[in-house]
Chain A
Amino acid sequence: MATHTLSVLVENSPGVLARVASLFSRRGYNIDSLAVGPTENSEISRMTIVLNLDGHALDQVIAQLFKLINVIGISEMTDTDSIKREALLVKIKAKPSEREKVAAVVAKYNGVIVDESDASLTIEATGPSTDIEALLKSLEQFGIKELVQSGLIALERGGVTLADRTLSTSGVAISDPNSATADYQN
C-alpha cells in the first residue's frame, strides 16, 4: 500500500462530483482526501484525489474513473515531478502568556495568525502535508480547539500542463493501461 495522488480533469457539469463519489463508493475505493475547484478553463474542473492502495489497484481506479464520460484526463502526481500543498486553519487555546511562543512556531512554518480573541488564536498555514502535520504537532501543546484542512492539491513542475496533454490530443489512444504512471488521454 502506498499513497497516490491523482489529478483528474472533469467537465464542469452538474453531478460530476456525485459520479466520482459514487464510483469510489461502489467499487470500494477509499479516498484519503478530495479537493475540487475551478481551473483556468471555465468548462473544466480539476479534482485532486489522494488514495492509499497498491499499484495494481491504482490501475483499476484510473481505468474505472476514465470510463466516466465527464472525466477528460487523469494523471498521477508524483512527489518528484509535482508540487503538492494543503491548507490548514486551526484554532488553539493559547493563553496570553504563551502567545509569543505560538508566534515563533507559526513563523517557523510560514503560517499566519489570522484571528485573535481572549480565548483563542486562529492560524492559517499552507504547505506540503508533512509541514502541515509538523505544525499541528507543534501546536498541540497549546491545546487545539478546532481545525479544518483542505484536501491536497497538486500541480506538475515545469511548463507542461495536464490540460495540454489531455485536451489538445483528442483522439490519441491510451498508451498503456497497465502502467500506473500512464496518462489517460482522449
Chain B
Amino acid sequence: MSNQVTGAQSLVKSLEHAGVDVMFGIPGGAILPAYDPIYDSKIRHILVRHEQGAGHAATGYAQVTGRVGVCIATSGPGATNLVTPIADAAMDSVPMVAITGQVPSAAIGTDAFQEADIRGITMPITKHNFLITNPDHIAGAIAEAFHIAGTGRPGPVLVDIAKDALQKMTDFKWPTKINLAGYNPKTKPASQAIRDAAALIAQSKKPVLYVGGGVIKANASKQLLQLAELTGAPVVTTLMARGAFPDSHSLHLGMPGMHGTVAAVTALQKSDLLITLGARFDDRVTGKLSTFAVNAKIIHADIDPAEIGKNRFADVAIIGDVGEAMTALIPALEAEFKKSKPDLTQWWNQMGSLRSKYPVGYDHPADGSVSPQYVIERIGAISGPDAVYVAGVGQHQMWASQFVKYEKPRTWLNSGGAGTMGYAVPAAMGAKVGLPDATVWAIDGDGCFQMTNQELVTCALNNIPIKVAIINNESLGMVRQWQTLFYNSRYSNTSLESKRIPDFVKLADAMGCVGLRCDTTGDVDKVIKEAMAINDQPVVVDFSVFRDAMVWPMVAAGTSNDDIMVARETAPDWDSQEL
C-alpha cells in the first residue's frame, strides 16, 4: 500500500514534516481543500480576522523564535491581502512561508472568480515563489520553500497551489534531499577576507562596529560581544539590530541614522573604518550617501553578495554567515593585536564626550500633558529586558527604539525597511504565540492601531494575551512632525481626532480585551503595572499624550549626517568638540 493521499493532505503532511507548529490564516474557496486535513492536524491554526494580520503574525513569530513563520490564505483577495506583509518580510529579511490557494489549473488565466496572479504579483517581493498545479509537486515545493526561506539571507517564499492539485490524489513522499542547482548560499567566509579585515582593524584609529539586523538573524550576539570587547571599538546598532548588543554596555553608542544618537551618527561620520556586520547601508542610516563616512574604509560582512557594493564600496568583503565571520575574525585579530594594537583613547575621548553630552532625551510638555517618550520609557523600565517590544511605524517606533533599553536579541520587533503602519498588533500576536511565557508589548500609534486592531479579537479568542500601548497623540505624528518642520505647519490630513473617536477603551472591551486609560503623568506607572498584572486577557491602554512632541535627534531626509539636529534649529555644539 502506497502513501496515496490528496494534494491537500500532502500539503499538511509536508508542513508537519517541515516542523511547523503554528500557522496563521483564513480559509476561502480555493484553499478550502487544505482546511479539511488542517482540521485533523496537530499544527495549531490560528484563525485571524484579516490576511494581513496572518502575514505580520507569521513575521512576529519568526522574529522572536528564529523559525520560519507560516501564513495561509485563499486565492484572489486572500492572497493579495498578504502582499503587504510579504513585502515587509522581504525588506526585513524575515523567514516566512506563505501558502495560497489558486483557482483550478484549468481556470488559471481566464479571469476566474477570485483569481489573481499572486506568483506574478509577488515575484519582486519574495525570495522565491512557486505555482503548483500538480499534486506530485506539493511536498517538494514545501520542502524547498522552507529551505529557501530559512537559509542564507532569510526571506519570504510563497507557494501558490491550484485547487485541483489539492483535490487530486498523489503519493506523499517527503524529500530527503533538496536539490536546487541555483541556490547554495555560502556561509563560510573566505580566509583571505578575514585576514584582510583583521589587518585593517589592527591599523584603525577610529573604528566603529556598524551592526545590522543580520547579526540577530545569525544568532551572533555572543560573537559580537566578544569581537567588540576584543577591539574596544564603539558599537552602533541599527533599527533592525536593537538588542543585538546590550544597551547597557560601555562600548555602545546607540542607534545611528535619521533619528539616531549624536554619538552614533557622528562615530560613523568620523570613523576611519566601518566594520559592517549584517547591515546594508540603508538610506535612513547613511543620510546623503555621498557625504556618508567619507574618510572610512569599509569592511562589509554579509551573507548576501548583492549587498556588497550596492550602496557603498567595500574595501574588504566578507561573504558568509556573519556569526561565522566574527568567529573567524576573532583569532585573526588576536594574532594581529599581538603585533600591534591601536590606541583608541583619543577616539573614545571624542565619542564618549558626545555620548554624555547628547544622550537621547525629551522635555515634559509645558502644558502638563503626558510626554509620549516618558510613557514608552516607563513601559520599558517596568517590563524589563526580558519582555518583547513590538512597534508600529512612526514617532512611537523611534521613541520605542530610543527609550526602551534592549539587552537581548529578538526582544525588539518593528517594520524597519518597509515601514508598514499596522505592523504592531498582528506582529505582537505572532510574537506572543512564539514566546507564550514572555510579556509582549505592542507599542503602537493611534494611527497604526486603527489599521490592524481587528486582530485583538483573534488574540482574545485564542488566549494570546498581548499588551497594547496606544501612544495616542490623535495624529499621524511623524507626518505631522514633517509638516511642522518642512511644510510650514500646514497639517494637511494628519489629524485623526482619536482622542474623541473611537473610544479605544470601549473598542478594547468590545473585542474581548481589557481597556485602560491614562491621561496624566502621575498615573503612567500605575496603569502600566495594572496592565502588567493582567495575563489572561489582552490589554489595551490608551495613553493620551502631548500632540506636538517630536522625535530628536533628526537628520532630515536627503541631507548629510553632518547636519544632524539635536532639536529644532539646534545643531550640536561642534565647536567645543575636537573631531
Contacts and interface: CB of A to CB of B under 8 A. Distances in A.
Given A15-B119, A60-B309, A177-B308, A70 B131 contact: no
Contact of B184 (A11, A59, A67, A186): A186
Given A22-B124, A59-B309, 11 more contacts: A15-B123, A60-B309, A60-B310, A67-B306, A69-B127, A173-B186, A173-B188, A174-B305, A177-B305, A177-B308, A178-B317
Interface in B257-315: 304-306, 308-310, 313-314
A72 B182 contact: yes
Nearest to B313: A56
Contacts of A10: 182
Nearest to A26: B124
Contacts of A14: 131
Interface in A155-173: 167, 170-171, 173
B120 interface: yes
Contact of A186 (B123, B131, B181, B314): B181
B183 interface: yes
Contacts of A114: none
B305 A167 contact: no
Contact of B182 (A15, A18, A23, A69): A69
Contacts of B127: 67, 69
A143 B257 CA distance: 61
A186 B305 contact: no
B306 A64 contact: yes
B308 A69 contact: no
B319 interface: yes
Interface centre among A11, A66, A186, by most chain B C-beta atoms within 10 angstroms, is A186
A64 B305 CA distance: 8
A63 interface: yes
A184 B275 CA distance: 26
B128 interface: yes
A10 B180 CA distance: 12
Interface string B543-557: 000000000000000
Interface string B185-201: 01010100000000000
B306 A69 contact: no
B305 A63 contact: yes
A19 interface: yes
Interface in A1-35: 10-11, 14-15, 18-19, 22-23, 26
In the complex, which range does the number of interface residues on chain B fall in?
20 to 34
State the 4 A-B residue pairs at the shortest beta-carbon distance, nearest first. Answer: A63-B306, A177-B305, A69-B128, A186-B184
A93 to B, nearest CB: 41
Interface of B: 119-120, 123-124, 127-128, 131, 148, 180-184, 186, 188, 190, 304-306, 308-310, 313-314, 317, 319
A71 interface: yes
A107 interface: no
Given A18-B120, A69-B128, A11 B182 contact: yes
B444 to A, nearest CB: 31
A145 B302 CA distance: 54
Nearest to B311: A60
A174 B319 contact: yes
A144 B319 CA distance: 52
Contacts of A170: 181, 184
Interface of A: 10-11, 14-15, 18-19, 22-23, 26, 56, 59-60, 63-64, 66-72, 167, 170-171, 173-174, 177-178, 186
A186 B309 contact: no
A69 B309 contact: no
B308 A174 contact: no
Contacts of A174: 186, 305, 319
Contacts of A68: 128, 182
A66 B319 CA distance: 14
Given A15-B119, A186-B184, A178 B314 contact: yes
A22 B284 CA distance: 25
Contacts of B305: 63, 66, 174, 177
Contacts of B309: 56, 59-60, 178
The residue in A18, A23, A178 that gathers the most chain B C-beta atoms within 10 A of its C-beta is: A178
A41 to B, nearest CB: 11
Contact of B180 (A22, A63, A64, A69): A69
Most buried by A among B190, B304, B306, B313: B306
24 contacts: A11-B181, A14-B131, A15-B119, A15-B123, A18-B123, A22-B123, A56-B313, A60-B310, A63-B310, A66-B306, A67-B304, A69-B127, A69-B128, A69-B183, A70-B182, A71-B182, A72-B182, A170-B184, A173-B186, A173-B190, A173-B319, A177-B319, A178-B308, A178-B317
A118 B535 CA distance: 90
A167 B184 CA distance: 12
Nearest to A184: B305
B313 to A, nearest CB: 8
Contacts of B180: 69
A68 B319 CA distance: 17
A100 to B, nearest CB: 52
